[in-house]
A = this chain, B = another copy of it.
Amino acid sequence: MKFAACSSYEIAAQITKTTPVILPVGAVEAHGPHLPLETDNLLAERYADRIADKKNGLVLPVLPYGQVFSLQDFPGSLSLSNETMIQMIFEIGEGLYKQGVRLFVLISGHLGNMTALKEGARKLFLKHPDMRVLHIFYPNIQKLAADVREGKANHHTYIHACEIETSLMLYLASEHVEMEKAIDDPPILPLDADYTPMPWQNFTESAVLGEATLATAEKGEYLIETTLKTCLELIEIEQDKIRKAEEMA
């Protein structure tokens, strides 16, 4: 259920202490010729919907701007600073806390957001230790990607506009993919890419970090469904903690 599609009169009845309230966080960012700038917004939102469906969760409106350091110079990319993102997460969490929410689930469709999400979660934790905050980006995606990837081995952390991310899109938002424009453009990543600030124009012109043509909905299904299972488990763990804390109080 969508949080903001409810009226003020309806929402109060929906919120219990174990209701997961889910904030999808995306980005406006270059994703090659075959994917839209809003790719991470679409993924985060639909992934959040899937979680909500299974756990009676409430999905907040997607935060559509993210931290985009690496691709900030590519056409169409827009970037927020970590400071601003941390503060947004914190202030939204504060508002939810006041309304009785105790399980706040941050779902990012963009790896670059994870520093801000983790820091925002910690800031909330330090102020409200009784609110559980999860910060999630496809749990274990790197390892699982190896199960399905046909292209050459990619970078150990970056998944971007490639066989893997395009597969996620084909499964969750295929109407926004133009597979006929998909290209293979695996970059040779310089050794220092992980150790020094390096905008990605240093090693790619397309922003496609792999072989997008190898993407399939089936690969996407495997990755989405497997990672979703972990998300549900995580939510159950936190719900248990909340219930126990309630009983103790």
Q: Does A113 contact B (CB under 8 A)?
A: no
Chain A contact residues: over half helix, strand or loop, or mixed?
mixed
Q: Compute how far the CA of A75 lies from the CA of B98 in the bound complex, rounded to whole angstroms.
A: 9
Q: Compute how far the CA of A64 lies from the CA of B234 in the bound complex, rounded to whole angstroms.
A: 27
Q: Are B28 and A61 in contact, CB atoms less than 8 angstroms apart?
A: yes
Task: Find A72's partner among B92, B95, B233 (CB 8 Å cutoff).
Answer: B95
Q: Are A65 and B36 in contact, CB atoms less than 8 angstroms apart?
A: no
Q: Are A8 and B74 in contact, CB atoms less than 8 angstroms apart?
A: yes
Q: Are B62 and A80 in contact, CB atoms less than 8 angstroms apart?
A: no
Q: Are A119 and B115 in contact, CB atoms less than 8 angstroms apart?
A: yes
> When A7-B31, A11-B75, A133-B197 are in contact, do A88 and B80 touch as well, CB less than 8 Å?
yes
Q: Are A37 and B4 in contact, CB atoms less than 8 angstroms apart?
A: yes
Closest residue of chain B to A5 (Cβ to Cβ) is: B36
Task: Find A28's partner among B60, B87, B121 (CB 8 Å cutoff).
Answer: B60
Q: Are B8 and A30 in contact, CB atoms less than 8 angstroms apart?
A: yes
Q: Are B37 and A76 in contact, CB atoms less than 8 angstroms apart?
A: no
Which of chain B's residues have a CB closer than 8 A to the CB of A35? 7
Q: Are A75 and B191 in contact, CB atoms less than 8 angstroms apart?
A: no
> When A4-B36, A88-B84 are in contact, do A78 and B95 touch as well, CB less than 8 Å?
yes
Shortest CB distance A63–B (Å)? 8
Q: Does A110 contact B (CB under 8 A)?
A: no
> When A9-B33, A76-B11 are in contact, do A196 and B4 touch as well, CB less than 8 Å?
no
Which of chain B's residues have a CB closer than 8 A to the CB of A32? 7-9
Q: Are A80 and B91 in contact, CB atoms less than 8 angstroms apart?
A: yes
Which of chain B's residues have a CB closer than 8 A to the CB of A133? 196-197
Which of chain B's residues have a CB closer than 8 A to the CB of A5? 36-38, 176
Q: Does A96 contact B (CB under 8 A)?
A: yes
Q: Are B36 and A195 in contact, CB atoms less than 8 angstroms apart?
A: no
Q: Compute how far the CA of A119 lies from the CA of B195 in the bound complex, rounded to whole angstroms.
A: 12
Q: Compute how far the CA of A237 lies from the CA of B194 in the bound complex, rounded to whole angstroms.
A: 13
Q: Does A82 contact B (CB under 8 A)?
A: yes
Q: Does A187 contact B (CB under 8 A)?
A: no
Closest residue of chain B to A237 (Cβ to Cβ) is: B192
Name A's B-contacting residues (CB within 8 A): 2-9, 11-12, 15, 28, 30-38, 41, 60-65, 69, 72-84, 87-88, 91-92, 95-96, 98-99, 115, 118-119, 121-122, 124-126, 132-136, 139, 176, 178, 181, 190-192, 195-197, 207, 230, 233-234, 237-238
